[in-house]
Amino acid sequence: MKNPDERDLFPGALEMMILRTLRRQPLHGYALAQHIKRTSNDLLQIEEGSLYPALQRLLKEGLVKAEWGVSSTNRRVRIYKLTSAGAKHLDREVLSFERMLDGITRVLAPEGS
Amino acid sequence: MNWIKQSFTRRRFEGELSAEIQEHLAEKVEELVASGMSREEATAAARREFGNVLLVEERSREVWRWTSLENFFMDLRYGARMLHRSPGFTLVAVLTLAVGIGANTTIFSYVNALLLRPPSGVTEPHQLLAAWNRLPDGSYMQFSYPDYIYYRDRSRTFSGLVAYGSDGERVSWRTGGETALIEGQLVSGNFFSVLGVQPVLGRDFLPEEDQVPLRNPVVVLNHAFWQQRLGSDLGIIGKTLTLNGASYGVVGVAPSNFNGIETGFAPDFWVPLMMQRQISPANDLLSNRNGYWLFVAGRPMPGVTSAQAQADLSVLEKQLAQAYPKTNKGWDAAVMSIVGVPAEFREFAVPFTAILMAVVGFVLLIACANIANLLLARASRRSREIAIRSALGAGRGRIIRQMLTESALLSLAAGAVGLWLAVLAGPLLLKLKPPMLSFIDIQLGLDWRMLAFTLLVSLLAGIAFGVVPALRSSKVDVASRLKDETLGSHGRSRLRNVLVTGQVAVCTVLLIGAVLCLRSLLSATSVDPGFQINNRLMVSLDLDILGYSESRGLAFYDHLVEEVKTLPGVKSASVANHLPLGFARMATIVTIEGYQPPPGLPGIPIDFTGVGPGYFQTMGTPLRRGREFSRQDMATSPGVAIINEAMAQRYWPGQDPIGKRILPFSPRGERPSLEIVGVAANGRYRNLQEEPQPFMFRPFSQLYESSAVLLVQTAGDPKPMLATVEREIHKVDSNLPVVDAETLAQYMSIPLFVPRVTGTLLGVFGLLALLLAAVGLSGVVAYFVSLRTREIGVHLALGAERGDVLKLVVKQGMRLSLVGVVIGLAVAFGLSRVLSSLLYGIRSTDPITYVSVALTLTAVTLLASYLPARRATRVDPMVALRHE
Residue A104 lies in a domain: yes
Using DSSP bridges, classify how beta strands B570-576 and B738-743 pair: parallel, antiparallel or unpaired. unpaired
Element (H, E) at B531: none
Instruction: Give the C-alpha distances (Å, rounded to integers) separating B329 from B17, B605, B667.
Output: 84, 19, 15
Contact A8, A14 (CB under 8 A): yes
Q: Which domain holds residue A10?
A: 4-108
Residue A113 lies in a domain: no
Task: Kindly list the residues from chain A whose CB atom is less than 8 angstroms away from the CB atom of residue B55.
Answer: 4, 49
Q: What pLDDT is stored for residue A5 in this prediction?
A: 42
Contact B615, B712 (CB under 8 A): no
Element (H, E) at B475: none
Residue A85 lies in a domain: yes
Contact A52 B53 (CB under 8 A): no
Taking the CA of residue A100 and the nearest CA in chain B, the distance in Å comes to 27
Q: Given CB atoms, is A39 within the 8 Å cutoff of chain B?
A: no
Confidence of residue A60 (pLDDT cuts 50, 70, 90): confident
Residue of A nearest to B396 (CA): A3
Task: Kindly list the residues from chain A whose CB atom is less than 8 angstroms away from the CB atom of residue B62.
Answer: 53
Q: What pLDDT is stored for residue B1 in this prediction?
A: 43
Cα-only R_g, chain B: 37
Confidence of residue A37 (pLDDT cuts 50, 70, 90): confident
What's the pLDDT tens digit per position in B584-626? 777 777 888 778 777 666 678 888 899 999 999 999 999 999 9
Q: What pLDDT is stored for residue B262 in this prediction?
A: 84
Residue of A nearest to B48 (CA): A47
- Interface-testing mutation among A52, A72, A79, with chain B (most B C-beta atoms within 10 A): A52
Q: What pLDDT is stored for residue A113 in this prediction?
A: 46
Task: Kindly list the residues from chain B whose CB atom is less than 8 angstroms away from the CB atom of residue A1.
Answer: 52, 391, 393
DSSP for A22-79, please give it.
HHH--EEHHHHHHHHHHHTTT-S---GGGHHHHHHHHHHTTSEEEEEEE-TTS-EEEE
Classify burial at B536, counting beta carbons within 10 Å of its beta carbon; exposed 0-12, middle 13-18, buried 19 or more. buried
Task: Kindly list the residues from chain B whose CB atom is less than 8 angstroms away from the CB atom of residue A71.
Answer: 27
Q: What CATH number should be reported for the domain holding residue A57?
A: 1.10.10.10
CA angle A105, A109, A111 (to 5 degrees): 150
Task: Kindly list the residues from chain B whose CB atom is less than 8 angstroms away from the CB atom of residue A33.
Answer: 24
Task: Kindly list the residues from chain A whose CB atom is less than 8 angstroms away from the CB atom of residue B63.
Answer: 53, 56-57, 59-60
pLDDT < 70: residue spans in chain B: 1-14, 65-70, 282, 344, 393-394, 434-440, 475-493, 545, 599-602, 665-671, 880-884
CB pairs under 8 A between A and B: 69
- Interface-testing mutation among B12, B27, B28, B53, with chain A (most A C-beta atoms within 10 A): B27
Contacts 24+ apart (CB under 8 A), B224-228: B224/B256, B224/B259, B224/B266, B225/B182, B225/B268, B225/B269, B226/B201, B226/B253, B227/B256
What's the pLDDT tens digit per position in A78-111? 889 999 999 999 998 888 888 888 888 888 887 6
The residues with which B590 forms a beta bridge, in sequence order, are B604, B664
Residue of A nearest to B63 (CA): A57
How is chain B split into domains, by residue range? 2-64, 67-117+348-488, 125-339, 490-528+750-884, 536-747
Task: Kindly list the residues from chain B whose CB atom is less than 8 angstroms away from the CB atom of residue A11.
Answer: none
Contact B157, B296 (CB under 8 A): no
Contact B63 A3 (CB under 8 A): no
Contact B27 A50 (CB under 8 A): no
Q: Given CB atoms, is A4 within the 8 Å cutoff of chain B?
A: yes
Residue A81 lies in a domain: yes
Q: Which of B24, B55, B63 sits opposite A30 (nearest CB)?
A: B24
Domain tally, chain A? 1
Of B198, B243, B199, B187, nearest to B217 by C-alpha is B243
Contact A48 B52 (CB under 8 A): no
Q: Which of A1, A3, A52 sits opposite B21 (nearest CB)?
A: A52
Of B660, B653, B657, B669, nearest to B602 by C-alpha is B669
The complex scores an ipTM of: 0.82
Residue A50 lies in a domain: yes
